[in-house]
Amino acid sequence: VIADLQRLVGSEHVVADPRPDLLADASAYAGVSGVAAALVSPGSPEEVAAVVSWCAERGVPVVPRGGGTGFSGGCVSQDPASVVVSVARLDAVRSLDVLQWRAHVEAGVTTARLARLARENGLRFPVDPGAAEQSHIGGNIATNAGGPHCFKHGVTRAWVLGVEAVLGNGELVTVGGPTRKDVAGYDLAGLLCGSEGTLGIITAAWMRLLPAPPVELPLAAVLPDARAGQEALDAVLGCGVVPAVIEFLDAGSVRASAASFPGGGLPADAGFVLIVEVDTSEADAEEVAGALREAGATVSRPDARALWRWRDGVSIAVASVHGGKLSEDIAVPVERLADAVEGTREIGERHGLEACSWGHAGDGNLHSTFLLDPADAAQRARADEAARDLFALALELGGTVSGEHGLGLLKNGWLSRQWSPGAVAAADAVRAALDPAGVMNPRVKRP
Ligand SMILES: Cc1cc2nc3c(=O)[nH]c(=O)nc-3n(C[C@H](O)[C@H](O)[C@H](O)COP(=O)(O)OP(=O)(O)OC[C@H]3O[C@@H](n4cnc5c(N)ncnc54)[C@H](O)[C@@H]3O)c2cc1C
């Protein structure tokens, strides 16, 4: 195996029996650990195709790997015979077309690098998942990643014009491209978005960009509880301005993170906080502020950079309360946000765990979290049970078990509770068509 792979990609780009830390992602906290026959780093799309063909011919599992920041174990190989394919060496920016608001990048370009490149040229790449310095554009497409600014602009799929990928049979294909509109065929590029490495390996993509917005005007609105927060959210959605961001923190998340809020303007005992950013004009920001005040909020205007630095640290602040946490990413219809926030707390109470949530209010997407001491096995087991109750709650509220991180390994088995048997069968048929040998990330995204 190793000799063949070395011949395909060069001996210095093959690691035999890779150490678990080379295979890990952000699900390591949940005890997910990897094993594989080899980790290979092809230097071109053609080399990726050669490796996948070799694996498909022999029935060897292929696990695509991007920046390794996923939260659901999607890139963490579980089979000792697997070949993990890292796209890290595919990191060229093939073109940046500033006047056309477009970039053609290889899959291993990091999210932050594309965002910086856009910013330096007066443009913006608005997809802003939290681990942007490490996550890859290929990984963002494979997970259909979101982030705070995806409320106004949409998640990764909205920014993909075309994809170059190696399908499960080893065929290198290109679907879409520099053209802004194209309905000639099925939306195969869209299908690869969120496919979690089960349909093929993305090697490059054409990404849409936007002219940078003229302003970034954040507002922080303090409310007494989640119900009042839901009403304030309705008021913002109904006020006629489309904010770039609508985030929330419930009481427990505020308690954990208020001390470092820029300017000290968040009372630690706030029941609920909405963070709204307007990127159009000062007049629009005032309009939103007025709607929030009318809904009973106390509104302040933090500095944008300081605010986002603080927001990036909320997850760490929450984890530091007891040393660890289990965070999920359910999403519900926006009007059920308060139900999901309260339901998360109740589930925590039932399992003897402190619970809180924060996340993307405008998308109804919660990082519902159970706090725990990682050294306490009983707490970890109770947190796993609580997570199962949480997924059931998401479905009961008409939502989804994953708004951002995908099924990966950790949520295998949940899609068949969310989708009808006919829908699951259709998804299985798509998978079989694009991966006839069944070698693409076979343990992942199982319905
Ligand atoms: C601190 C932190 C904050 C985060 N915040 C967010 C957030 O706000 N929003 C959000 O959506 N996610 C967030 N995430 C999760 C994660 O960053 C995203 O899912 C990201 O898109 C994963 O990209 P990656 O390159 O690291 O992929 P990996 O973790 O390497 O892989 C993820 C999945 O994609 C597949 N894959 C990777 N690259 C390819 C490829 N080239 N072709 C085919 N399949 C591939 C893998 O097989 C796996 O199934 C966060 C993670 C961390 C650690």
Q: Which residues line ligand 1 (CB under 6 A)?
A: 25-26, 63-71, 74-75, 87, 107, 129-131, 135-136, 138-140, 142-143, 145-147, 196-197, 201-202, 404-405, 441, 444
- CA 253 to chain CA centroid, nearest Å: 20
The Å distance, Cα 133 to ligand 1 centre, comes to 12
Ligand 1 atom nearest residue 25's Cα: 29
Angle at 136 between CA 9 and CA 242, to 5 degrees: 155
The Å distance, Cα 68 to ligand 1 centre, comes to 6
Cβ–Cβ under 8 Å, residues 9 and 40? yes
The Å distance, Cα 439 to ligand 1 centre, comes to 20
The Å distance, Cα 148 to ligand 1 centre, comes to 16
Q: Which residues contact 61 (CB under 8 A, 6 or more apart)?
A: 55, 77, 79, 81, 82, 83, 439, 441, 442, 443
* Alpha-carbon span 368 to 370, nearest angstrom: 7
Residue ID of nearest Cα to ligand 1 atom 8: 129
Q: Mean pLDDT per 10-residue run, the chain (447 residues)?
A: 98 98 93 96 98 98 98 97 98 98 98 98 97 98 97 97 97 97 95 98 98 97 98 98 98 96 89 98 98 98 95 95 96 98 98 98 98 95 97 98 97 97 98 97 97
Ligand 1 atom nearest residue 202's Cα: 42
Residue ID of nearest Cα to ligand 1 atom 15: 70
Mutate to test the pocket of ligand 1, among 29, 41, 47, 65 (most ligand atoms within 8 A of CB): 65
Ligand 1 atom nearest residue 146's Cα: 11
Ligand 1 atom nearest residue 155's Cα: 11
* Alpha-carbon span 415 to 406, nearest angstrom: 10
The Å distance, Cα 157 to ligand 1 centre, comes to 14
**HSE-up of residue 119 (Cα within 13 Å, Cβ side):** 9
The Å distance, Cα 410 to ligand 1 centre, comes to 14
Q: Would you state the pLDDT for residue 264?
A: 80
The Å distance, Cα 139 to ligand 1 centre, comes to 5
Q: Would you state the pLDDT for residue 256?
A: 97
Residue ID of nearest Cα to ligand 1 atom 52: 131
User: pTM above 0.85?
Assistant: yes
* Alpha-carbon span 159 to 35, nearest angstrom: 34
Mutate to test the pocket of ligand 1, among 143, 410, 412 (most ligand atoms within 8 A of CB): 143
Ligand 1 atom nearest residue 444's Cα: 49
Q: Would you state the pLDDT for residue 265?
A: 75
Q: How many residues does the chain have?
A: 447
Ligand 1 atom nearest residue 145's Cα: 11
Ligand 1 atom nearest residue 405's Cα: 19
Residue ID of nearest Cα to ligand 1 atom 46: 75
- CA 98 to chain CA centroid, nearest Å: 26
* Alpha-carbon span 211 to 129, nearest angstrom: 19
Residue ID of nearest Cα to ligand 1 atom 9: 129
Backbone angles phi, psi at 40, to 5 degrees: -120, 150
Mutate to test the pocket of ligand 1, among 29, 41, 69 (most ligand atoms within 8 A of CB): 69
* Alpha-carbon span 269 to 254, nearest angstrom: 7
The Å distance, Cα 286 to ligand 1 centre, comes to 36
Q: Would you state the pLDDT for residue 263?
A: 85
* Alpha-carbon span 403 to 365, nearest angstrom: 6
The Å distance, Cα 100 to ligand 1 centre, comes to 27
Q: Is 386 exposed, middle or buried (0-12, 13-18, 19+ CB in 10 A)?
A: buried
The Å distance, Cα 131 to ligand 1 centre, comes to 8
Ligand 1 atom nearest residue 192's Cα: 43
Ligand 1 atom nearest residue 138's Cα: 41
